[in-house]
Each structure stands twice: as structure tokens, then as C-alpha cells.
Amino acid sequence: MSRRDVEHGTSPVGVDASSPSAGPAAPTLLHTPSFQEMWRELLPVGRHPDSRGYRRYAWTGADAECRDWFKGQAEARGLTYELDRNGNQWAWVGDPEAGDAIVTGSHLDSVPDGGAFDGPLGVVSSFAALDELRRRGVQFGKPLAIVNFGDEEGARFGLACVGSRLAAGQLTVEQAHRLTDGDGITLPRAMEAAGYDPEGIGADPERLARIGAFVELHVEQGRALDLSGDRVGIASAIWPHGRWRFDFRGEANHAGTTRLVDRRDPMLSYAETVLAARCEAELAGAVATFGKIAVEPNGVNAIPSLVRGWLDSRAEDQATLDTVVGGIEKAAHAYADAHGIDLDVVRESFTPVVEFDHALRDELARILGTGSELTVPVLGTGAGHDAGILSGSIPTAMLFVRNPTGVSHSPAEFAAEDDCVAGVSALADVLEGLACR
Ligand SMILES: [Zn+2]
């Protein structure tokens, strides 16, 4: 266990951390920064001066700055601060041990050259929503916590959601010890170098057992809300998704002297397969992408002997995904046969559909629907999240905030301030509804 494992924030007004019914009385002596102030504080952290994208990788200096910021926000509000055994940070109102806690939060790390919103919007909105509830004078009947999950994007060690996977027991200690970054540094060594004790990493069922519901607010990574004209939506499910490797093998030969009719060129059947993937996905309302390719011998004046392409495909449900990938494979084999090419298709990874808790989802819809003429849209997503990992252990739900371009994992990622503020308000409503039920 780390010396930093549990630290209690100082509370000038004496927030009673021993009672689960402790209300979120606001510390009046400390300044609690507004959403806009918090946002401005975080903006420069880990931002690359050339790309303007974020490089907040797990257990690096930028990550430490984000973690210090989180702890500072907890202290400014008189919250009880905890660092768990897997490097996730928690800030509590009320007694963490009381059980049936309502937890919200997200992550502060980024993909390489990521945007400002993916992750931080959820964490900043959580603190702002708590401030809003204190302004409303809401008295909670349950403990409430804000969490920052470590290493969500997997940018450094190649596996996403390491903090939540470890806590949920979906990543074993042995697997975690084998995670290595591009410089050959293992996860435990990286944690040590950042001043954390990696001894205790592993499943944390006692901590998850304290939680009655987890709600993650996130910037939408698509344009569904923009197209429907809504600021905020509720997640239904994370689409099933997988990766497949297509190996097209032909015959290397001279690009200048080999007659077209004599060639066995795997690039042709690969190219036709890319077009077939687009067509199959379009017909099914799914997505299919060939985003990575390896060519041998990879010479400008050589007909390739091998074209290896990786397909990423995602769909609303398993049957649709099976249809799309099955259709692409069938087309690929037909094109390969027509050109005298050998084809092997290997599924490299697969994640089944994650359905968020139906009762919790319906409760969010009920809370957000009250007093509003607009029904809150419920939408699926093709992206993974900590909430998806935790959905196997505890009831989880997600709120999405409108992203006008749909661009994500890019410096161009954006959400308008009005929409972010609407997200804070919706999250506050949800927390109030859940913590007072
Ligand atoms: Zn995210």
C-alpha cells in the first residue's frame, strides 16, 4: 500500500465523513473554482506545443500534474481523498464505507495527441455538479464520490482501461506485470518511478461493493446528438467490436516487365475488399475500417507478395456485426480467387456488446425527462469506456454531451460551453435523483 493511500481533505466547515447521510455542505472558507476556471486550469497540462494535442500518458509527468489537480479539487471542497491500490483517485462526500454510494467521474489521461474533452469533461463536470448540488442545498441519503480512473486510454502500455480492469478483476496481476511501454518499462516500474507502490495492484471487490451506481459523463464521440439537436443523451450500450487480420498472398515480380495478365497481385483483391467493407457496413448501419496495412516487399517498382490489412468493425448488435464481417470475408475470398491470391483471415480480438444497466438507464431517462418537453435520446456508442468495464460488476450508466463535429481522439475534439454547462446540470439532476431516492 502506498503512503499516499488514504488522505483526508481538510474541511473548514467540518463535513461529517462518518455519516452516510452527510449533506454536501459547502466549505465556505475555500474558493471552489467554477467549471470554466477548472477547465482553464487543466487546458495547458500535457499539451504539446506543436501538435496542440494532449499527451497525458499514464504515470508520466503530465499524468502527475492531472492527479495533483484532482487532489487539489478534492481538498478545495473538503472531500475525503483516497488513492486506491490500482492508482485510481477518489474524492468522497460522506462515509466511503457506508455502502450504496453514488459515484461519478471519468479519466484524465489521453491518447497520443488527443483532445481536451475525452475524459476531463467527465471529471470537471463531476466537481461542478457537486458544487451545483451544494448550491441547491441538497442533502444526500447516500455517500457520493468522484473518481479519476487511471490509464483509461492505454496510450502507454497498449491496453485500455487498466485502472478499472484491475479493480474489476478483468486484468490479472500477472497480466498487469507483463504490460510494457515502448521503452521497455513495465507497468510496476512506471508506477514506482512516479512515486506509487505497485505491490497492491489487483482486483478490488471490496471497493466496488461500496458502489450502488456509477454514472460517467463523456463527450460524445460521434454526431448523433448534433443530428438530433440535443445537448445531452443517455448511453444504451457499447457496440460489440473486433479486429480481423486479412493476409492476401500473391507473387512478387517486376513492376515494369511483368504483363498484367501474368500477375498475381494481392493489392488488387485487398483494394476490392476495402470497397466491399464500406459497402457491407453502409448496408447494415455499422462501421468497418481498414486503417492499417503492411506490404511486402514494399517496393515502388515491385508487385507485392503480401498485403496484410487489419479490419476494425463495430455494429449495434452481434448479429449485425456477424453479417457485416461475414460479408466482407466472403467478398475478399471471391476477389482473391479471381486474382489467384491465397487469403487467410484471423480474428485478433473481440469484445462483445456491453449493455448498460436497464433499470439505471430508465431511471436516468425519468430524472432527465421530468419537467422537460424534450425526451432525452438514448444512443449506442462504438467506443469503450471505464463504465463499460465496470458494468460487469456494478450498475453503470453514461451521459453524453453533444460534439458538433463528432471528431474525437484529435486536437480538434470540441464541445460548446453551453452544452458542457447543460451536461453539468443534467449530471447534477441525475446525482440528486439517485442519491436522494
Ligand atoms: Zn474517454
Domains of the chain listed by start with CATH number: 6-238+353-435 (3.40.630.10), 241-351 (3.30.70.360)
- Are 240 and 315 spatial neighbours (Cβ–Cβ below 8 Å)? yes
What does the alpha-carbon distance between residue 238 and residue 234 come to, in Å, rounded to a whole number? 12
The CB-side HSE value for 138 (13 A sphere, CA atoms) comes to 24
C-alpha cell at 44: 495547458
Q: How far is the centre of ligand 1, averaged over its atoms, from the C-alpha of 256 (Å)?
A: 49
Strand 101-107 to 144-149 pairing: parallel
Q: In the beta sheet, which residues pair with residue 234?
A: 378, 399
Query: How many beta carbons lie within 10 A of that of residue 83, not counting itself?
Result: 23
Q: How far is the centre of ligand 1, averaged over its atoms, from the C-alpha of 312 (Å)?
A: 19
Would you say how long the chain is, in residues?
A: 437
Residues 6+ apart with CB under 8 A from 2: 83, 196, 197, 200
Q: How far is the centre of ligand 1, averaged over its atoms, from the C-alpha of 390 (Å)?
A: 14
Q: How far is the centre of ligand 1, averaged over its atoms, from the C-alpha of 88 (Å)?
A: 15
What does the alpha-carbon distance between residue 266 and residue 306 come to, in Å, rounded to a whole number? 6
- Are 129 and 427 spatial neighbours (Cβ–Cβ below 8 Å)? yes
**Tens-binned pLDDT, residue by residue, of the chain (437 aa):** 343 344 443 332 223 333 444 444 444 546 789 999 999 999 999 999 999 999 999 999 999 999 999 999 999 999 999 999 999 999 999 999 999 999 999 999 999 999 999 999 999 999 999 999 999 999 999 999 999 999 999 999 988 999 999 999 999 999 999 999 989 999 999 999 999 999 999 999 999 999 999 999 999 999 999 999 999 999 999 999 999 999 999 999 999 999 999 999 999 999 999 999 999 999 999 999 999 999 999 999 999 999 999 999 999 999 999 999 999 999 999 999 999 999 999 998 888 999 999 999 999 999 998 555 457 899 999 898 999 999 999 999 999 999 999 999 999 999 999 999 999 999 999 999 999 87
3-state secondary structure 361-379: HHHHHHHHHCCCCCCCCEE
**Cα 234 from chain centroid (whole Å):** 15
Q: How far is the centre of ligand 1, averaged over its atoms, from the C-alpha of 150 (Å)?
A: 11
* φ, ψ for residue 136, nearest 5 deg: -75, -15
What does the alpha-carbon distance between residue 34 and residue 77 come to, in Å, rounded to a whole number? 12
pTM of the model: 0.84
Sign of CA dihedral 151, 153, 157, 160: positive
Q: How far is the centre of ligand 1, averaged over its atoms, from the C-alpha of 309 (Å)?
A: 27
